Amino acid sequence: MGKRRIASTELAVGTVMAWDAYDEKGRLLLRKGLVIASNSQVDGLIERGLFTEANPERKAAPVSEEPSAVSSIMEARHRLERLCGSNSRTDDFTYQITCIRALVAEACRLSPDAAVGTLLLARHGRYSIRHSLDVAVVSHIVGVALEMPEPDLSSAVAAALTMNFSILELQDVLQAQKEPLTEEQREVIKGHPGASEAQLRERGVKDELWLQTVLAHHEAIDGSGYGQGKKGAEIPLSAQLVSLADVYCARISSREYRKALSSNSALKALFLDQGKRVRDGLASQFIKAIGVFPAGTPVRLENGEIAVVVQRGEKANAPRVCSIIGPRGMPLTAPIRRDTSMPTCGVREVMTWADVGAPPSMQILWGKVAAIH
């Protein structure tokens, strides 16, 4: 099959890829329809030499697939797991993280609600990888809401993807472990920010904010965190953001020894802890960006139905929902939109999926933007 090099003039931030693009070894790097998210991604593409088929117009046109936020996140999970299992110690590692970061940005651009919904509704796969992507999604959405400038936002998301690089296998063990942590496990966890940062440097990462964010993502402004004992202004905003996202995502995930917290309980805990963990007001901004009732949260309505939050409403306490279970406990044949600002359909209580049972298909709730290709 012939191929041609994609010219630098065809690449720019915001460009929608018109073709599948490959590196010189034929490995797929960017799929048709994805958006180039940052200047650093453009630089990486130009450096490696991006190729596409020489005459793609001569082939029969493939069946078009509408862009999907959920498919982008699933692809990002797949790529991160594959990358973490490789032994790459070259600049290719940085570039691959850049591509994964672009998939996260694309998912959040297409549908921030569906992207957040994956935290609660797409719980399959390896925990350590899923958690890293969850934290990256939340960090991106909150970072955008904070108007965090580039390249700081990209560095924060890259740090979220790689913050636990040195303890991925241990994370998976702990996810299924019923016994308390051993002293050895505690020491490994306490040392993982430094160990992860060192391994990233070995893999060729040179972005200092990315590295410093990984190093400081368990620090606390009152000095009670761990890593290097930093406090106050010594801790970058990016690290404080990733720290909040990390704690939130961990609390809404179940472990063998404990149930998951409901999403609003996890957010309330962040708010109560903010005085010692992050700068004043950051937790409130975090909650505002994610929503008091984050997308994907199951709730019981005043009419007895069980619904799923699909979008924030005009008022913080009145999200837009789709009912999936009737008041007598029978599944509905199709989701029904409910207005929670109405007294009869207001949110009575927040639930967890452990209480409700298997969640519905995301595509049923959000349509094609939540399809899995």
What's the pLDDT tens digit per position in 341-355?
Answer: 999 999 999 999 999
Report the CATH number of the 69-290 domain: 1.10.3210.10
How far from each other are the two terminal CA atoms of the chain, in whole angstroms?
A: 25
What's the pLDDT tens digit per position in 76-125?
Answer: 999 999 998 876 555 589 989 999 999 999 999 999 999 999 999 999 89
CA distance 300 to 170: 36
Supply angle C-alpha 240, 241, 246, rounded to 5: 95
CA distance 74 to 151: 24
What 8-state DSSP symbol labels residue 149?
Answer: P
Architecture of domain 3-58: Alpha-Beta Complex (3.90)
For residue 44, pLDDT over 70 is answered with: no
CA distance 351 to 129: 25
CA distance 217 to 238: 8
CA distance 156 to 152: 6
Whose tokens are 């040195």? That residue is: 166
Residue 274's pLDDT is 72
CA distance 210 to 206: 8
Q: Where are the domains of the chain?
A: 3-58, 69-290, 298-350
For residue 332, pLDDT over 90 is answered with: yes
pLDDT band at 277 (very low <50, low <70, confident <90, very high): confident
Question: Is 236 within 8 Å of 209 (Cβ atoms)?
Answer: yes
The side-by-side arrangement of strands in the sheet containing 331-339 is 331-339, 320-325, 306-311, 298-301, 347-350
- In 247-340, DSSP assigns E strands to 298-301, 306-311, 320-325, 331-339
If you write DSSP's letter for every residue of 275-286 in order, what string do you get?
Answer: HHHS-TTHHHHH
Question: Is 255 within 8 Å of 174 (Cβ atoms)?
Answer: yes
For residue 15, pLDDT over 80 is answered with: no
pLDDT band at 372 (very low <50, low <70, confident <90, very high): confident
Angle 208-216/237-251 helices, nearest 10 degrees? 50
What 8-state DSSP symbol labels residue 17?
Answer: P
Burial of 64 (0-12, 13-18, 19+ CB in 10 A): exposed
In 3D space, the residue among 82, 78, 76, 17 whose CA is nearest the CA of residue 51 turns out to be 17
CA distance 277 to 180: 24
Q: Is 0.75 surpassed by the pTM of this model?
A: yes
